[in-house]
Amino acid sequence: MNVLLIYPEFPDTFWSFKHALKFIHKKAAHPPLGLLTVGAMLPREWSKRLVDLNVTKLTEKNLAWADCVFISAMVVQRESARQTIARCKEAGLKVVAGGPLFTSEYEEFEDVDHFVLNEAELTLPPFLADLEMGRARRVYETSEFCDIRKTPPPMWELADLKRYASMSIQFSRGCPFDCEFCNVTTLFGHRPRIKTAEQIINELDRLYNLRWRGQIFFVDDNFIGNKRYLKTQLLPALIEWRKDKKGMPFNTEASVNLADDEPLMEMMVEAGFDAVFIGIETPDEGSLAECNKKQNKNRDLVESVKRIQRTGLQVQGGFIVGFDSDTRSIFQRQIDFIQKSGIVTAMVGLLQAPAGTRLYERLKQEGRLLGHMSGDNVDGTTNIIPRMDLNLLRAGYQNIMRHIYSHKLYYQRVKTLLQEYKTPKAEVPLDFQRFLAFLRSNIRLGVFGKERFQYWKLLLWTLFRRPELLSLAITLSIYGHHFRKICEQYIL
């Protein structure tokens, strides 16, 4: 059996980093971790090829070679997934689909032959068994959660690693919290399930042996869901593993209560973590209560962020406007919070209701749903009818984005971060591509860019005050170029 593992194209979004990737001559931010893991679960005797449409094209030669197609996608890849499925069907191929998009919307993809939904560790084996017997059903789904200690390592060898800016690893699934708008617990449950430290070290060794030295993203929705195991097993193992290694800095996602555990933060930094994404959502206590974001309530969120930054973890933040409790003041409050906190990478979006969440069910009962969400966090769209006038909400949202990604405020925020940020433990080596990125940023941003005054001002300040962070200052300047391009596309 010849199998194509196809990953649809991402549109130009906040997290695509398409405009930033050009500076380092990369095609995509991350490889498709889910598909590479599924590839490892398929029969060994099958021939497999990965076609990631973010880095290459689906050719007629690919289609002629294949007997079957496995496709996985997130909601934001919906349009590309539809186009890809149509093309595969025109070529006469069987299509098997899975992943978050199809788990929530499989009824809308009539051309797909088989759906392997939820966690593939549980639904793929019965599908493969039925396929071999010639009696495969159309839909395989489960409400149970698998033991990821039995999940095989991804087939990295299927991907051209040189085309990606970062690699991905998964340590855990699930989150102990219950935010109303979040579909993580719907997909993966409340009890964090973890891989063993040995599994993670094995996956890292595989990447290291493939000569990967760049960033590694731990894709866990809440990396600190099991603090005890982190402190006693995984982080000590990572610290030991890193002793004779160069490069490979880590980043991940976590809840804001990370700020309350200084020993944990210090261990993460010692293990090589230098950044963490945190769902801040809003500085408004009423809105935090409304969405059941208990871990963010009754705390000085700005101080929590700065505490994390001072330990050596750059905080990237998610923010939302459009809660029922929001008033007109929320827009300026969000701007003020983002600027004071020094959260450079600030993803701000309108409240959306993913299918299967408590928010979705509540708004469905209230008759306030407007179909499916786009899956794009910063395109200014929503699939709900807000309490606030929709035109006022959109205008306020656009004002936030227009301000925080203006040249002046963005570079001020970078400086605020650099003043607090502790030098990271693991740094990416200065290779030829990153040297070219430095030259390109000097020309594109420092000579031809509208932000050239702010760019050189930041670089000179960093050179004299925090020279060890010059590489980070350049990287964040390039990120700013990407974020402004996204704002221009949807807002400005």
Asked whether 89 and 95 are in contact (CB, 8 A), the reply is yes
Amino acid 245: pLDDT: 87
Instruction: List, as one string, the DSSP characters of 389-430.
Output: -HHHHHHHHHHHHHHHTSHHHHHHHHHHHHHHPPPPSS----
Please check whether residues 176 and 132 belong to one and the same domain: no
Q: What is the span of the domain harbouring residue 314?
A: 165-420
Asked whether 135 and 160 are in contact (CB, 8 A), the reply is no
Which of 140, 156, 184 marks a domain boundary? Answer: 140
> What domain count does the chain have?
2
What b/e sequence results for 402-436 when a residue is b if at least 16 CB atoms lie within 10 Å of its CB, and e otherwise? ebbbbbeebbebbbbbbebbeebbbbbeeeeebee
Please check whether residues 59 and 193 belong to one and the same domain: no
In CATH, what number is assigned to the domain containing residue 200? 3.20.20.70
- pLDDT in 10s for each residue of the chain, 492 residues: 999 999 999 999 999 999 999 999 999 999 999 999 999 999 999 999 999 999 999 999 999 999 999 999 999 999 999 999 999 999 999 999 999 999 999 999 999 999 999 999 999 999 999 999 999 999 999 999 999 999 999 999 999 999 999 999 999 999 999 999 999 988 999 999 999 999 999 999 999 999 999 999 999 999 999 999 999 999 999 999 999 888 899 999 999 999 999 999 999 999 999 999 999 999 999 999 999 999 999 999 999 999 999 999 999 999 999 999 999 999 999 999 999 999 999 999 999 999 999 999 999 999 999 988 999 989 999 999 999 999 999 999 999 999 999 999 999 999 999 999 988 766 655 666 777 788 989 999 999 999 999 999 999 999 999 999 999 999 999 999 999 999 998 875
Contacts of 244 (CB under 8 A, 6+ apart): none
Asked whether 142 and 118 are in contact (CB, 8 A), the reply is yes
Structural domain contains residue 456? no
348 forms beta bridges with 319
Which of 140, 173, 202 marks a domain boundary? Answer: 140
Structural domain contains residue 439? no
Amino acid 435: pLDDT: 78
Give the residue from 489, 486, 178, 480 showing the smallest Cα distance to 343: 480
What's the one-letter identity of residue 386? P
Structural domain contains residue 446? no
Structural domain contains residue 431? no
**Whole-angstrom Cα distance, residue 136 to residue 131?**
5
Structural domain contains residue 209? yes
Please check whether residues 129 and 172 belong to one and the same domain: no
Please check whether residues 52 and 87 belong to one and the same domain: yes
Query: Which helix (H) or strand (E) segment is 275 a member of?
Result: strand 273-281
β-strands 273-281, 193-194 pairing: unpaired
CA 203 to the chain's CA centroid: 19
Amino acid 437: pLDDT: 82
Please check whether residues 293 and 223 belong to one and the same domain: yes
Query: What residue ranges in 282-403 does DSSP mark as E strands?
Result: 314-321, 346-350
Is residue 468 helix, strand or coil? helix
Please check whether residues 276 and 409 belong to one and the same domain: yes
Structural domain contains residue 415? yes
Please check whether residues 390 and 354 belong to one and the same domain: yes
Rounded (10°) CA dihedral 75, 77, 79, 85: -100
Helices (H), 13-171: 18-21, 33-41, 60-65, 78-90, 100-105, 120-132
Which of 420, 438, 466 marks a domain boundary? Answer: 420
Amino acid 428: pLDDT: 59
Give the residue from 198, 187, 269 showing the smallest Cα distance to 222: 187
β-strands 172-173, 193-194 pairing: antiparallel
> What is the token pair recorded at 436?
């070219």
Query: Which helix (H) or strand (E) segment is 115 a member of?
Result: strand 114-116
**Whole-angstrom Cα distance, residue 343 to residue 405?**
12
Please check whether residues 113 and 181 belong to one and the same domain: no
pTM comes to: 0.95
Please check whether residues 253 and 108 belong to one and the same domain: no
In CATH, what number is assigned to the domain containing residue 128? 3.40.50
> What is the token pair recorded at 487?
């704002």
φ/ψ of 321, rounded to 5, equals -125, 150
Amino acid 427: pLDDT: 61
Please check whether residues 101 and 248 belong to one and the same domain: no
Asked whether 458 and 471 are in contact (CB, 8 A), the reply is no
Is residue 190 helix, strand or coil? coil
Amino acid 426: pLDDT: 63
Asked whether 139 and 158 are in contact (CB, 8 A), the reply is no
Amino acid 233: pLDDT: 98
Asked whether 158 and 39 are in contact (CB, 8 A), the reply is yes
**Whole-angstrom Cα distance, residue 182 to residue 256?**
16
Structural domain contains residue 188? yes
Please check whether residues 123 and 250 belong to one and the same domain: no
Please check whether residues 133 and 253 belong to one and the same domain: no
**Whole-angstrom Cα distance, residue 417 to residue 464?**
16
Structural domain contains residue 290? yes
**Whole-angstrom Cα distance, residue 311 to residue 211?**
29
| Residue linked to tokens 């740094």 | 427
